Amino acid sequence: MEFYSMMESTCTKILMIFVKNFLIFLKKGHKIISSSTLIPNSDQTLLFTNSGMNQFKNIFLGIDKPLFKRVATAQRCVRAGGKHNDLNNVGYTERHLTFFEMLGNFSFGDYFKNEAIQFAWELLTDVNWFNLSKNKLWVTVHNCDGESYDIWSNQIDIPNEHIVKIGSNTNDFCDSDNFWQMGNIGPCGPCSEIFYDRGDRFQGGPPGSLEEFGERYVEIWNLVFIQFDRQENGRLLSLPMLSVDTGMGLERITSILQGVNSNFSIDVFKKLISSISRIMKINDIYINRSVYVIADHIRACSFLIQDGVLPANEGRGYVLRRIIRRAILHGKKLGVNDIFFYKLVSPLIKYMQHIADILHEKKDFIAEILLSEEKLFQDTLKRGLELLEKQLIRLKGNCLNGEIAFNLYDTYGFPFELTQDVCLKRGIHVDQEGFDQAMLTQKKYTKELNKFDISYEKLSLCNVSSIFVGYDKLICKSRVMALFQNNKSINKIYTKEEGIVILNNTPFYGESGGQIGDCGQLNTISGFFQVSNTKKYGQTIGHLGIVNSGTISVGEEIVAQVDQHKRKCISLNHSATHLLRAALSQVLGSHVTQKGSLVNDRYLRFDFYHHATMTTTQMNTVENIVNEQIWKNAPITVDVMPIELARNSGAVILINKQYDKKVRVLKIGNFSTELCGGTHAEHTGEIGVFMITKECSIAAGIRRVEAVTNNVALSAIHQYKMLLKNIFQSTQSDDKNILSKIHEFKCRYQKLEKEIDTLRNQQIIQQSLSFIKDVYYIKDVRILVKQVVNMTSKTLFNMTDCIKHQLKSGVIVLINLNTNKKINLVVAVTKDLIERNRINALSLVHYIIKILGGKGGGRPDFAQAGINNMATTSKISIEVNSLLHNIL
The minimum distance between CB 37 and ligand SER, in angstroms, equals 17
C-alpha 552/C-alpha 565 separation (Å) is: 25
Q: Write phi, then psi, for 805 (nearest 5 degrees).
A: -60, -40
What SS3 class is residue 593? coil
Distances in Å between the alpha carbon of 294 and those of 47, 77, 275, 279, 285? 22, 17, 12, 12, 11
The minimum distance between CB 36 and ligand SER, in angstroms, equals 14
The minimum distance between CB 109 and ligand SER, in angstroms, equals 17
The minimum distance between CB 49 and ligand SER, in angstroms, equals 11
The minimum distance between CB 435 and ligand SER, in angstroms, equals 34
Helices (H), 361-507: 363-394, 402-412, 416-425, 432-451, 456-461
Based on CB atoms, which residue is closest to ligand SER, 53 or 418? 53
Q: Which spans of this chain sit near ligand SER (rule: CB under 6 A)?
A: 51-53, 104, 180, 222, 224, 245-247
C-alpha 854/C-alpha 868 separation (Å) is: 5
C-alpha 68/C-alpha 66 separation (Å) is: 5
Q: Which sign does the torsion angle of CA 585, 588, 594, 598 carry? A: negative
> Which amino acid does the sequence have at 108?
F
Asked if 863 contacts 847 with a C-beta cutoff of 8 angstroms, the reply is: no
Based on CB atoms, which residue is closest to ligand SER, 247 or 510? 247
| DSSP 8-state assignment for residue 222 | E
Based on CB atoms, which residue is closest to ligand SER, 223 or 519? 223
The minimum distance between CB 594 and ligand SER, in angstroms, equals 31
All residues at 6 or more sequence positions from 614 whose CB lies less than 8 Å from its CB, including other chains: 588, 622, 695, 703, 705
The minimum distance between CB 225 and ligand SER, in angstroms, equals 10
The minimum distance between CB 33 and ligand SER, in angstroms, equals 14
The minimum distance between CB 100 and ligand SER, in angstroms, equals 11
Asked if 461 contacts 537 with a C-beta cutoff of 8 angstroms, the reply is: yes
Based on CB atoms, which residue is closest to ligand SER, 77 or 423? 77
Based on CB atoms, which residue is closest to ligand SER, 83 or 281? 83
The minimum distance between CB 181 and ligand SER, in angstroms, equals 9
The minimum distance between CB 434 and ligand SER, in angstroms, equals 38
- As to burial, measured by CB atoms within 10 angstroms (0-12 exposed, 13-18 middle, 19+ buried), residue 28 is middle
Based on CB atoms, which residue is closest to ligand SER, 49 or 575? 49
Q: What share of the chain is helix, strand, coil (3-state, %, to 5)?
A: 45, 25, 30
C-alpha 152/C-alpha 158 separation (Å) is: 7
Based on CB atoms, which residue is closest to ligand SER, 37 or 51? 51
All residues at 6 or more sequence positions from 810 whose CB lies less than 8 Å from its CB, including other chains: 775, 781, 782, 783, 784, 804, 829, 830, 833
Asked if 312 contacts 324 with a C-beta cutoff of 8 angstroms, the reply is: no
Residue nearest to ligand SER (CB): 247
The minimum distance between CB 319 and ligand SER, in angstroms, equals 19
C-alpha 80/C-alpha 100 separation (Å) is: 11
Based on CB atoms, which residue is closest to ligand SER, 53 or 828? 53
Based on CB atoms, which residue is closest to ligand SER, 41 or 290? 41
- As to burial, measured by CB atoms within 10 angstroms (0-12 exposed, 13-18 middle, 19+ buried), residue 472 is exposed
Based on CB atoms, which residue is closest to ligand SER, 84 or 458? 84
The minimum distance between CB 239 and ligand SER, in angstroms, equals 15
Based on CB atoms, which residue is closest to ligand SER, 247 or 507? 247
Apex CA 150: angle with CA 147 and CA 153, to 5°? Answer: 150
The minimum distance between CB 180 and ligand SER, in angstroms, equals 5
Based on CB atoms, which residue is closest to ligand SER, 62 or 853? 62
The minimum distance between CB 86 and ligand SER, in angstroms, equals 12
Which H helix or E strand runs over 594? Answer: strand 594-599
Based on CB atoms, which residue is closest to ligand SER, 53 or 691? 53
Distances in Å between the alpha carbon of 84 and those of 46, 50, 87, 318? 10, 7, 9, 17
C-alpha 463/C-alpha 119 separation (Å) is: 50
Based on CB atoms, which residue is closest to ligand SER, 244 or 681? 244
Based on CB atoms, which residue is closest to ligand SER, 101 or 245? 245
Kindly write down the DSSP assignment for every residue of 806-831, as one continuous string. Answer: HHSS-EEEEEEE-TTS-EEEEEEE-H
Based on CB atoms, which residue is closest to ligand SER, 55 or 709? 55
Strands (E), 267-391: none
Based on CB atoms, which residue is closest to ligand SER, 83 or 602? 83
Based on CB atoms, which residue is closest to ligand SER, 188 or 266? 188
> Which amino acid does the sequence have at 883?
L
C-alpha 347/C-alpha 341 separation (Å) is: 11
C-alpha 224/C-alpha 102 separation (Å) is: 14
- Could you tell me how far CA 159 lies from the centroid of its own chain? 52
Q: Write phi, then psi, for 774 (nearest 5 degrees).
A: -95, 10
Kindly write down the DSSP assignment for every residue of 609-656, as one continuous string. Answer: E-SSPPPHHHHHHHHHHHHHHHHTT-BEEEEEEEHHHHHHTT-B--TT
C-alpha 88/C-alpha 302 separation (Å) is: 19
C-alpha 7/C-alpha 174 separation (Å) is: 44
The minimum distance between CB 219 and ligand SER, in angstroms, equals 9
The minimum distance between CB 84 and ligand SER, in angstroms, equals 7
Asked if 129 contacts 123 with a C-beta cutoff of 8 angstroms, the reply is: yes
The minimum distance between CB 77 and ligand SER, in angstroms, equals 8
